[in-house]
Amino acid sequence: MSVLAPEVHNELAQLLDALQSSDNSVRSQAEEHLANNWTTNKPNMLLMGLVEQIQGSNDPTTRSFAAVIFRRIASKARKLPNGETVELFLSLPQEEGYLIRSKLLEALGAEGTNAVRNKIGDAVAEIAREYSDGKAQWPEILGILFTLSISKEVGQREIAYRIFSTTPGIIEKQHEDTVLSAFTKGFKDDDVSVRLAAMEAFASFFRSINKKSQQKYYALIPEVLNILPPIKEKQESEELTRALVSLIDLAEVAPKMFRPLFHNLVAFSISVIQDKELTDQARQNALELMATFADYAPAMVKKDPTYTTDMITQCLSLMTDIGVDDDDAAEWNASDDMDPDESDLNHVAGEQCMDRLANKLGGATILAPTFSWLPRMMNSDAWRDRHAALMAISAISEGCRDLMVGELNQVLELVVPALRDPHPRVRWAGCNALGQMSTDFAGTMQEKYHTIVVPAIIPVLDSPEPRVQAHAAAALVNFCEEAEKNILEPYLDDLLTHLFQLLQSPKRYVQEQALSTIATIADSAEAAFAKYYDTLMPLLFRVLQQENTKELRLLRAKAMECATLIALAVGKERLGNDAMSLVQLLATIQQGITDPDDPQAQYLMHCWGRMCRVLGQDFLPFLPSVMPPLMELASAKADIQLLDDEEQVEQVQQDEGWELVPLRGKVIGIKTSTLDDKHMAIELLVVYAQVLEGSFAPYVLEVMEKITLPGLAFFFHDPVRVVSAKCVPQLLNSYKKAFGNPSNELQTLWRGTVEKLLEVLSAEPAVDTLAEMYQCFYESVEVMGKNCLTQQNMETFIDSAHSALEDYKDRVAVRAEEREGDAVEEGEEESEDMLFAIEDDQTLLSDMNKAFHCIFKNHGVTFLPAWGRLHSTYEQFLKSQDGTQRQWGLCIMDDVLEFCGEESWKYKDYIVEPLIAGCRDTAPANRQAAAYGIGVAAHKGGPQWSAFFGPAIELLFQVTRLPNARGDDDVYATENACAAIAKVLHYNASSVPNQEEVIRQWIDILPVVNDEEAAPYAYAYLAQLIDQRNPLVIGQAGKVFVFIAQALEAETLQGQTAQRIVEAGKVLLQVAGLDPQTVLASLPVETQQTVRAMFG
């Protein structure tokens, strides 16, 4: 029975017709009428009318469209009288809401047309989600859905599971027996569409519950897997694709629950991948499922007897599925599209899977089965086999780096001959492999194999096929990016002769690539490139002076890039008058850019940044024309769209440069290309502030207020926040250089800035970005210097630090719970996500540490009252089982000792025990921190600490006597202990009862040749002993002189300290009566040369 009057329904029916009109103007007027007359003024009546249209209309199209509009309107935001914003349906009076949702459920149960039922189901799911998210109740929905799930009608059973899938929150709280029963029935349903809907619902539900709850449902996996074989037998590719997607979801969340049946699943998936009667999508989904297990449970897949060999075989087979109907590559070579969208093709799926297997399983697992195929494939008569083998090498080299790097000779023996292959696509793949290897084995490839690689690629630049030429040039980019200039120099003539020839190619993409390669060579060759300047620069100028036609835009952009990189390589002096000509040319090009899609605009921004670095202060006259477009880009707001329906989502997905984010049942589209430009623009502002320093001051206030400080809270794009954080200290430094410190201008800028910095320390949600914010804070404090923070600033900082540390402790606890709930198998590493999370937390703690250090350094004892509020946290960290936390606590205590002088004694109860325990810590970094702390206590802690140093000396000697004390991991702890003993002997000698014996032992723990902070203290004390003609030093002058020579050669001593120790060394040899030549003879030749140069 209808609640609304017939005339209301007539008006609404006409509106729904108009909203579906093919006439744009009719549709636009209808949208406006819907928004202004209905949604805003009478939303309750609108929703009631729509639900009655869904119930009562005889036209299935109207019923379906009414359901779509209902869902859209119900989810719109609406402001309540109390100021709270809620979704429109939840704002309805309780009785009306009850009536509308009851009618909606009745319509769902009564609808007989599947397509319409699905739209009504989407509307029901939306309302259910709103109730679930709002922690509100919709008691009757579960009963209705469970009833539908056992209905005799297939469509009703299916829609029940579809709704569960969309809104799993409505069954999360149900008793597991009820849920198990519902899913079991669905998995065993007679109809495949219901079975698939149940699978999708289970995957969605499973993702939504915690790990502990998930284990209750592991028993369902056999039932889930039983759904697949019958579908494959019937060759139903579309259904199989859907089923595999659900399995992929489950494998991502809990791969180990498949363990009992994993081998069977491997066999089934392999049979799907190799079944060419199925669609490519179904085969690729089976491949993706198997790759997902490698991603999330590498130890489990390694234990399967056939997984690795079968997967590699299938990947290589898929990789040969290329160039269908284009055997001679004529079509491929005629195409000018260098980056076609091939993401859905089998050969790309095979390559990507090989890459993942290598990265997740490693060389020890992957190499042998892969290389059992590759030599045969390289010797095959079929070009597709040879191509696949080369692409496989490209795919696995990163993941197998550690083992392959020792076998590069053999790998190159396979790859290099391919550059002379008769088939162009094989030569292209050979270039691809060498380019990828040049990146993955960077350093080794360039240093050890340049005589093989470069002479092999250069002739390919002469290939008759432009695409092969371009790819050979691209491979050289990879090689040259990582090459030292001395390696490149002998090849420059040959390389550039060929690349200059490519600039004459009729294919513009070849010219563009040649310019990119020349630019990279210039960047690596630096001054050695000057020889080619006169040949190339006039040519680039000619390109830039040509008419600005649309076809030439990218070529001109590449020419700009090349010219400015050459300018950076050869320097201002070599440029001479060309420097000004070039920037004037860039200015002319900038004035001619009118099309927002012109690629020259973005290239130009980077070119200005390079020219600023080249010209330094001479760049200033160009800033007025460079800054406005840069400021416009840097000021860009986020382009965000709320996408209401699937059509809008599909439309946006087709456009490049968008990211889609699901949010509370809707999809938000964020235009990332705009944000990438914003990020790039702020990066360039950092360059200008860095290079121009005080001369950039006229722009600082505007950049700080309009770009950088708002950028710190730009939550749509992490990189914008990070680069804004990099910019703040540079802007402060610019003002400091321009106006001095103290100055009114700098203080005014700082007051507004520090408030914002402290605010973002509490507001930043991403752990890795929060670390950047702490870095921004301490670098800014460093620029501002002594006493720049008020007491309130320091209190606010401690509030933020406390909040960040509490959040950190929560994350540690969650990780511990996850480990417990997901027992790690023997030989299995932590998941990559967990390792990244741990690394992010360690970086955060490190940057927080530096912030504390910087405040203590610049504020000393005035920081102690605020600092003291976190005593319980420091204590907890110092006693933690986690070495990172202990190190954090030790470093904080070191700062108190270093910067608070005699006041530090008040905190001895917090400091002494951790220093003692730290010297015995299993973690070398913690022994280093403890040793350093004892040293600064001796240096700066005051006389109260004297009684501590006697026992502490022995602890420090123990640090230096540990096994492998001079190993890479332990040497810094050893050298800090050595320096700390020197500080005790120098500043607190009276506290050491047996000085002579201590000095004797101390000499034996020299030299200090790694730690540049520790070395000056150790060697200053050694110089003091020499000045005193201490017999313990004079008596073993030869050994002591060698220690001096080693430190000088290692350059851990610089400036006055180095000079002082040189003078002391001369005195030592003279007093001991030693011949310097005899002493030096025992040292390596390089050390002898360094020492002779310093000793004259």
Give the CB-side neighbour count of residue 901, counting CA atoms within 13 A.
Answer: 5
Categorize the per-residue pLDDT at 957 as very low, low, confident or very high, splitting at 50, 70 and 90. Answer: very high
Q: How far is CA 1004 from the centre of its chain?
A: 46
Q: What is the mean pLDDT of residues 984-1013?
A: 92
pLDDT surpasses 80 at 374 = yes
What backbone phi and psi angles, to 5 degrees, belong to 701? -60, -45
pLDDT surpasses 80 at 260 = yes
What's the pLDDT at 890?
95
Q: Which of 132, 29, 117 is nearest to 67 (CA)?
A: 117
What's the pLDDT at 465?
96
CA distance 287 to 317: 12
- Higher per-residue pLDDT: 77 or 106: 106
CA distance 627 to 643: 35
Categorize the per-residue pLDDT at 35 as very low, low, confident or very high, splitting at 50, 70 and 90. Answer: confident
Q: What is the mean pLDDT of residues 821-842?
A: 74
Categorize the per-residue pLDDT at 800 as very low, low, confident or very high, splitting at 50, 70 and 90. Answer: very high
- Retrieve residue 794's tokens: 């320091």
Percent of the chain with pLDDT over 90: 67
What's the pLDDT at 817?
79
Peptide bond into 621 cis (omega under 30): no
Give the model confidence (pLDDT) of 518-574 as tens digits.
Answer: 999 999 988 888 889 898 999 899 888 887 788 888 888 999 999 999 999 888 888
CA distance 101 to 95: 10
Give the model confidence (pLDDT) of 803-830 as tens digits.
Answer: 999 999 999 988 887 777 655 555 566 6
Categorize the per-residue pLDDT at 642 as very low, low, confident or very high, splitting at 50, 70 and 90. Answer: low
Give the model confidence (pLDDT) of 430-476 as tens digits.
Answer: 999 999 999 999 999 999 999 999 999 999 999 999 999 999 999 99
Categorize the per-residue pLDDT at 772 as very low, low, confident or very high, splitting at 50, 70 and 90. Answer: very high
CA distance 145 to 129: 14
What's the pLDDT at 646?
61
Residue with tokens 């309805």, as numbered in its chain: 92
What's the pLDDT at 831?
72
Percent of the chain with pLDDT over 70: 96
Let me know: does 107 contact 120? Beta carbons within 8 Å: yes
CA distance 274 to 496: 47
What's the pLDDT at 547?
78
What's the pLDDT at 645?
59
Consecutive H or E run containing 1056: helix 1055-1072
How many residues are given for the chain?
Answer: 1096
Q: How far is CA 344 from CA 67, 244, 272, 415, 829, in A?
A: 34, 16, 17, 27, 32
pLDDT surpasses 80 at 849 = yes
Average pLDDT, the chain: 91
What's the pLDDT at 438?
97
Categorize the per-residue pLDDT at 490 as very low, low, confident or very high, splitting at 50, 70 and 90. Answer: very high
Let me know: does 692 contact 739? Beta carbons within 8 Å: no
Let me know: does 480 contact 519? Beta carbons within 8 Å: no
CA distance 70 to 84: 22
CA distance 910 to 912: 6
- Quick one: how many helices (H) and strands (E) in the chain? 60, 5
What's the pLDDT at 662?
61
Categorize the per-residue pLDDT at 252 as very low, low, confident or very high, splitting at 50, 70 and 90. Answer: very high
What's the pLDDT at 822?
59
Categorize the per-residue pLDDT at 358 as very low, low, confident or very high, splitting at 50, 70 and 90. Answer: very high
Q: What is the mean pLDDT of residues 1046-1054?
A: 89
What's the pLDDT at 887?
94
Give the model confidence (pLDDT) of 658-685 as tens digits.
Answer: 666 565 555 666 666 778 889 999 999 9
Give the model confidence (pLDDT) of 136-187 as tens digits.
Answer: 888 888 888 888 899 999 999 999 999 988 888 788 777 778 888 889 999 9
What's the pLDDT at 663?
56
Start-to-end C-alpha separation, the chain: 108
Categorize the per-residue pLDDT at 213 as very low, low, confident or very high, splitting at 50, 70 and 90. Answer: confident
Query: 1029: alpha, beta or left, given left = phi > 0 and alpha = psi -120 to 50?
Result: left
Give the model confidence (pLDDT) of 903-950 as tens digits.
Answer: 999 999 999 999 999 999 999 999 999 999 999 999 999 899 999 998
What's the pLDDT at 894?
95
What's the pLDDT at 1015?
94
Give the CB-side neighbour count of residue 287, counting CA atoms within 13 A.
Answer: 32
Residue ranges of alpha helices (H) inside 324-462 are 330-334, 346-361, 363-371, 374-378, 383-396, 401-404, 408-415, 424-440, 444-457
Q: Which of 523, 466, 472, 526 is nearest to 495 (CA)?
A: 472
